[in-house]
Structure 1
């Protein structure tokens, strides 16, 4: 049990501390700066929407206002089984730069992307979601990164605004995640993109199969497999609000984490070093995080076993773990009270993430074919 405890602790420490440190060291010793230019290639914006009538007008206004030559940017709205008039709103919009592709039956986002891609003709495809607002300079920033011939995909940065303790815990996790993405990009490639905003070379995108949950990982990883870099562009900003609804955030996290299990199932080479150029990075950034909740459980059980056998050291270790979990429960149960207590907020976010990873495995095993997403309502975000 002593060996099990230290092995689990070492793996958890590497997951959350060691991997970012390794990326920081690699970025320092072997930096990979971009070679950008002011060239403005043509862009097809691809927006897949399911029942987005409430949000679509503001989104179209936002896309039409992007600081990019109008004759070089076209907006493609793909309606995925919408029954709220989304397609009518898009068709009636006063702009000849908007093209609508509507499917009567709901097919899922990846199926819609796969069906729409062959009809696109621009140099770049810009992927985004209906809910988030994009900064006016984002398209130019992504295009600049993709002017480097070694780059095949470029991810923007999602900026979250939070009003309460729970939302700030989510925001703290995003800041940590973005730090890792910056380091991965500076040293080579990301292992995925921000679904709210990323762009890719159209001719580098492999066919996208139906049923994929994480298209923002599947597409960039396919591009990386072809030998291109996937980079992070912090100047390309998308804005969203961290939901105040803990249940909605829990559903989102579980769906995303279940999508990681789906990736491993559909593309097992992603876990084999040498079989995919980013396999080692995927272990550090993604796969070990899926193991983390089970490693934490092993640590707790091992320290309990050893503490009950009279070890004063493991009694202290057990007490520290229980104290940390108690703080996490406080952060989750009373987020408003934890607003000013950073350690409590972080503990709550950490426990929530690992609980979601554990439950996501159950979700995936129960229904491995689930892939349809639910639109987050504005009232869930504003609440």
Structure 2
């Protein structure tokens, strides 16, 4: 029992904290041996031709501002194409986009899901690079240049931008917790990229070489992750570019954030099943190590080990003279009581930021368990499931 407890604690700590320390050390070892990775070339002549693809479903509240933001993006003249695809939209989104001659609108009244819409658009793309971004996110002016400059390196197959969550001083647990999570994720991705490769890209902003794009199954739940990882599986690196970023507002509340996280968790489990070959560290080496450490543990065993560690700790602490286990149990119990306090105060709309992180941490791990159950019960659809966002 004690052995299982300590193994559980080790995996939990490694998953959420330890991997970051390991990355930090490995990156510095790599710098000492090989030096820093060279900066990418970003002259107009070196940048590839590019198509920006925006999939929008019933986004009339955001689409005009998104178009304005898109038209302000900088890129060499004659090298950029803009495609907005609005399949299944029943509001004014297609009508609003059609007013802009600079944008190619692709619309079908049938709703088959985001990835089916994206595949339809990509079949007509003729540029060297494709950039994908969501309709409710806003990019910095040089985002496309900063993404596509990495393709001067032939080993690069995809580039992940940074997601930034806008959360003000009055942020609730979903806003502050999500913002903190993405700041931590950004640091891990930066180190992942420098060591070898990022493990997956988020749909808010990422790019791929057109020649490497593979259409994933229409049933894919987190298609952005699958598209990028299939490229990594071919032996190409996924680069992280923090100077290309997409800003979006946080989920409207914890309930909406939970809905989004459960869907991602179900998609994570699906991706692990579909990408089972990447677990072979003897074949994929560093990529497998990063994939297992950064993604697989989070999306599979770690949330269950949190529960197991608490139960085993309680049993071990009940034994006579088990002072160490008693102290550890008090620490665990205290952490979850803080999360519970955060939940209660959130329901009463009282903001205590110190409680947001433990509360959000518990919400995230509950979402993984719920997502795994949903995946195996085949209850998760690949079609768009929009979460409500706070007004910007």
Equivalent of 2:92, from 85, 88, 111? Answer: 85
Distance 1:104 1:154 in 2: 31
Cα drift, residue 347 of structure 1 = 1.2
- For the 8 Å contact 1:59–1:131, the answer to whether it is kept is yes
Quickly say closer, same or farther: Cα 1:369–1:254, change in 2 above 3 A.
Answer: closer
Query: Does 1:316 pair with 2:327?
Result: yes
Counterpart in 1 of 2:104? 99
Quick check: 246-255 or 277-286, which moved more? 277-286
Matched, 1:29 2:13: no
Match of 1:355 among 366, 373, 376: 366
Q: When the two structures are superposed, what TM-score results if normalisation uses the length of structure 1? A: 0.93
Q: Specify the SS of the correspondent of 2:78.
A: helix
Go from structure 1 to structure 2 and tell me whether the alpha carbon gap of 1:190 and 1:197 turns closer, same or farther (over 3 Å shift). same
Instruction: Note the residue ranges of structure 1 that are not aligned, 5 or more in a row.
Output: none
* Residue of structure 2 in register with 1:109 after alignment: 114
Q: 2:352 aligns with which of 334, 339, 353?
A: 339
Find 2:316's aligned residue among 306, 330, 347. Answer: 306
Instruction: Tell me the CA shift for residue 312 of structure 1.
Output: 3.0
Q: Displacement of 1:108 after TM fit?
A: 1.0
Does 1:62 pair with 2:69? yes
> In the superposition, relative to structure 1, how do residues 355 and 119 fare at CA in structure 2: closer, same or farther (>3 Å)?
same
Q: Deviations over 1:15-50 (max 9, x none)?
A: 112211121122111146144212222111111111
SS at structure 2 position matched to 1:71: coil
2:234: which partner in 1?
A: 226
Give TM-score scaled by structure 2 length: 0.91
For 2:390 and 2:282, the matched residues in 1 are separated by 42
CA-CA distance at 1:276 after TM superposition: 4.4
Give the aligned partner of residue 142 of structure 2: 137
Give per-residue Cα distances to partners, 1:119-164, cap 9 Å, x unaligned.
1001110000000111111011111122222211111111212131
Is the counterpart of residue 203 in structure 1 residue 203 in structure 2?
A: no
> Counterpart in 2 of 1:371?
382
* Aligned twin of 1:149: 154
User: Tell me, what secondary structure is at the counterpart of 2:336?
Assistant: helix
Aligned to 2:295: 286
Asked whether 1:11 is paired with 2:11, we answer: yes
The whole-number CA distance in structure 2 between the counterparts of 1:340 and 1:82 is 38
Moved over 3 A (4+): 274-277, 335-340
